[in-house]
Amino acid sequence: MTTSTTPTTPAAPTIVLVGHGMVGQRFLEALAERGVTARARVVVLCEEPRPAYDRVQLTSYFSGRTPDDLSLVPDGFLAEHGIELHTDEPVTAVDRAARTVTTGSGQVFAYDTLVLATGSYPFVPPVPGKDARGCFVYRTIEDLLAIEEYAKGRTTGAVVGGGLLGLEAAGALKGLGLDTHIVEFAPRLMPVQVDEGGGAALLRTIEQMGLTVHTGTGTQEVVTEDGAVTAMRLSDGSELATEMVVFSAGVRPRDQLARDCGLDVGERGGIAVDELCRTSDPAVFAIGECALASDGRVYGLVAPGYEMASTAAATIADETVSGFTGADLSTKLKLLGVDVASFGDAHGTAEGCLDVVYSDSRSGIYKKLVVDGEGVLLGGVLVGDAEAYGMLRPLTGSKPPVSPEQLVLPAGVGAPVALGPSALPDDAVICSCHNVTKHAISQCTSLPEVKKCTKAGTGCGSCVKVIEKLLPAATDKGLCGCFSYTRSELYEIARTLRVTSFAALLDSHGRDEAKGGEGCEVCKPTVGSILASLNNGYILDGEQAALQDTNDHFLANMQRNGSYSVVPRIPGGEITPEKLIVIGEVARDFGLYTKITGGQRIDLFGARVDQLPSIWTRLVDAGFESGHAYGKALRTVKSCVGQTWCRYGVQDSVKMAILLELRYRGLRAPHKLKSAVSGCARECAEAQSKDFGIIATASGWNLYVGGNGGATPRHADLLAQDLSDAELIRLIDRFLMFYIRTADRLERTSVWLERLEGGLDHLKDVVVHDSLGLCDELEALMAAHVAGYRDEWAETLDDPDRLRRFVSFVNAPETPDPTVKFVPERDQIKPDLQILTIGTLEGATSR
């Protein structure tokens, strides 16, 4: 007799993931990619009140990004793959015998496979007062929200720890308006990532930003009053007044669950795992910062965590996998706006290795490559300029096609060969976060396709520039990788929508991959100029300060030896004897080099940054104002003496030059602007080589535009003739605002006019005949500029907070910069060429 039974379908296995951070989310994605989520129940238990978010970009919250912006979970991802997420549900116990986990709310979840991705917790030194009101850690969005709330109404803050997160935390406190101190026990900042030289360059740059750094000292005690922080007592005996303390002195693996349930842990912490990320219990895996890898290391970076996540997912999916045996510790970050990168054997621990070092202490640039005796690149440190990181890191372990010296020297200083992506082998790993090679990237045709197909560029983002160079040339006319709009389009967006901050413009109109970021060296000064031209207030207030280049940052033009020039405005070149005397006295008292320029004013060279306020105090008191020699703005309106003195003059050119210079002073533009007024057709002021030039006629004025006497000379074109004073000013107003509105980044009026579709005829139609109906608007924009003008130096001197940036060293504000040296020449001074090597280049020398 034969019997038959209906087969039963076995229950789907259950995978429980404890922790939903960056590594946990990557693990879920790896499961989904392998189809595991379709044949298993996946339960995620998350201690935090929100799903996984980008902890690497945590500080961008203070730049305007919301917690939702930081989310790493694509819309619909969890529902599509049937993943059960429980937030605010910390796991309190693991029963390995019963294969269950218990949560804080008392729920019990059975598992077939358990994955621990519990991450790490901030280390807080065991000092008295560490739990006082006003003490925080810097790890989660909730921490940031608490810091932001407590900082309201307070003026000082201190960060314990000068590593990666410590500098991030310091940037956050400074962004909240607090006088910020950094206390680091090691003798330098970022001691794990950079060497002594890199730490020194980083220190100098950070101090110039207005932060105070204390290295080589620890925290002895947090001093309190009525339970709240009032000061910190340091191990060197000093006391630091502060109203809040943020501990960011490193992290420790969160392995308590493993300890409690009897899993093996390392002597110094971390859940011990094998190459497949299995713990001492084959049913339990551990990945990310909580895991002690088989090489005996706990990895605190996201890239190794991602690799562990993929390894665990592949093992659970029964795939053959090589296993996790260690990871690249290379990192590239932007801390407080400073690029910092290290890769390979950054500290040169290999026997017999050599260093090739380039250092520019004034600019805060430090580059060190570590090579062996055969020239094989072993590693390196980059501070201040990490542009080459994306090319150098993949070359680690090989002999580069050019000498190490050429890899660190700046362009034009013995470095004629620039490495491009073609120098990289196909198997070079371009994206270390997701282990993506050059060959894999070259199969794609666009950056979005690369991100979608390989995930390259979606991690820390440091590889994006190299990826873009590997892709076919695009026809994208966007300003940069952050914006798909041209400069003129961004101007219209900012003007029309009344956008007043870079962060708001980036978040609302930036490319998707750039939103919430910090921008780049192209768009930041460009948008800064746009906002300034739209009368967005003092150029160094708030966010705008970070958008400016070195010259605008100190309202002075940096010279080749690190000193600065002082150029007071002298409209029309007309100056009283009293004012001449003041300039002479200032030059004499501060030991400055003086030169009368072709633009009819007097340049004073050789001022240290700490001397600038004292110099300008005397000049402003004497009636001078900024000449904007440092800005992309109006420089001068040159003039001849005109009919007042010259027997050939037919109009008062000096009076007109003064009127125009005072009207357009401070006008920010895509590039610098120069003008001139000649009192007759003899053209002594050379008006036809200027951006806008005026030549007197017997009946009025002729207006010429688009001239350039620079590297590519261009004769200006006649726009209109025989104009009255009022007609002349009205046309110049329209011309300048139309140029500012439509020109590209760093485009002179000469290039703009030649590029303008229709050229001079179109320009006449627009600004003379009002063919586009824009003239009323252009005139109103200029009127707003004229009405809103404020002298930047006068405003700076009136505000003690603004003056604080003008020091060589924050910790020793009275100490002059020792690298600024001069030697005598023709009864004046000149830069000391003996030390003018833009830092030092040390050749390869054995240790």
Secondary structure string (H, E, C) spanning 414-468: CCCCCCCHHHCCCCCEEECCCCEEHHHHHCCCCHHHHHHHHCCCCCCCCCHHHHH
Does residue 242 sit in the same domain as residue 379? no
End position of a domain, from candidates 548, 570, 587:
548
pLDDT tens per residue, range 558-578: 776 678 889 999 998 888 999
Arithmetic mean of pLDDT over the chain: 86
Asked if residue 559 is part of any domain, the answer here is no
Does the CA dihedral 202-205-206-211 come out positive or negative? positive
Instruction: Report which of 333, 40, 361 is spatially closest to residue 198, judged by C-alpha positions.
Output: 361
Asked if residue 812 is part of any domain, the answer here is no
Does residue 271 sit in the same domain as residue 366? no
Asked if residue 611 is part of any domain, the answer here is no
pLDDT tens per residue, range 722-734: 999 999 999 999 9
Q: What is the predicted pLDDT for the residue at 316?
A: 96
Structure tokens at 463: 């590889």
pLDDT tens per residue, range 510-545: 988 788 777 887 888 899 889 888 876 777 776 676
pLDDT tens per residue, range 12-53: 899 999 999 999 999 999 999 999 999 999 999 999 999 999
Asked if residue 815 is part of any domain, the answer here is no
pTM: 0.59
In the block, which residue shows the tokens 């030896």? 561
Does residue 152 sit in the same domain as residue 265? no
Asked if residue 809 is part of any domain, the answer here is no
Asked if residue 555 is part of any domain, the answer here is no
**Are 704 and 716 within 8 A, CB to CB?**
yes
Does residue 646 sit in the same domain as residue 759? yes
At 65, which CATH number?
3.50.50.60
Does residue 83 sit in the same domain as residue 196? no
Residue 392 DSSP label: H
At 676, which CATH number?
3.30.413.10
At 441, which CATH number?
1.10.10.1100
Per-residue pLDDT band at 10 (split at 50, 70, 90): low
Per-residue pLDDT band at 4 (split at 50, 70, 90): very low
Contacts of 359 (CB under 8 A, 6+ apart): 197, 201, 365, 366, 367, 839, 840, 841, 842
**Are 341 and 381 within 8 A, CB to CB?**
yes
How many residues belong to the chain? Answer: 847
Instruction: Report which of 397, 391, 518, 380 is spatially closest to residue 466, judged by C-alpha positions.
Output: 391
pLDDT tens per residue, range 665-716: 999 999 999 999 999 999 999 999 999 999 999 999 999 999 998 767 899 9
pLDDT tens per residue, range 790-806: 999 999 999 888 888 78
Does residue 116 sit in the same domain as residue 131? no
Does residue 370 sit in the same domain as residue 400? yes
3-state DSSP call for residue 74? coil
Residue 633 DSSP label: B
Does residue 731 sit in the same domain as residue 691? yes
Contacts of 757 (CB under 8 A, 6+ apart): none
**Higher per-residue confidence, 553 vs 779:** 779
Does residue 81 sit in the same domain as residue 213? no
pLDDT tens per residue, range 458-514: 766 667 777 877 877 655 678 888 898 989 889 989 888 888 888 889 988 998 878
Residue 6 DSSP label: P
Which is it for strands 108-110 and 100-103: parallel, antiparallel or unpaired? antiparallel
Give CA–CA dist 245/229, Å, rounded.
8
Per-residue pLDDT band at 812 (split at 50, 70, 90): low
Asked if residue 560 is part of any domain, the answer here is no
Q: What is the predicted pLDDT for the residue at 412?
A: 45
Does residue 146 sit in the same domain as residue 279? no
Asked if residue 579 is part of any domain, the answer here is no
Does residue 176 sit in the same domain as residue 165? yes
The number of folded domains in the chain is 6
Does residue 244 sit in the same domain as residue 258? no
How would you write 762-807 as a 3-class SS string? HHHHHHCCCCCCCHHHHHHHHHHHHHHCCCHHHHHHCCHHHHCCCC
Range of the domain at 774: 632-790
End position of a domain, from candidates 441, 473, 505:
473
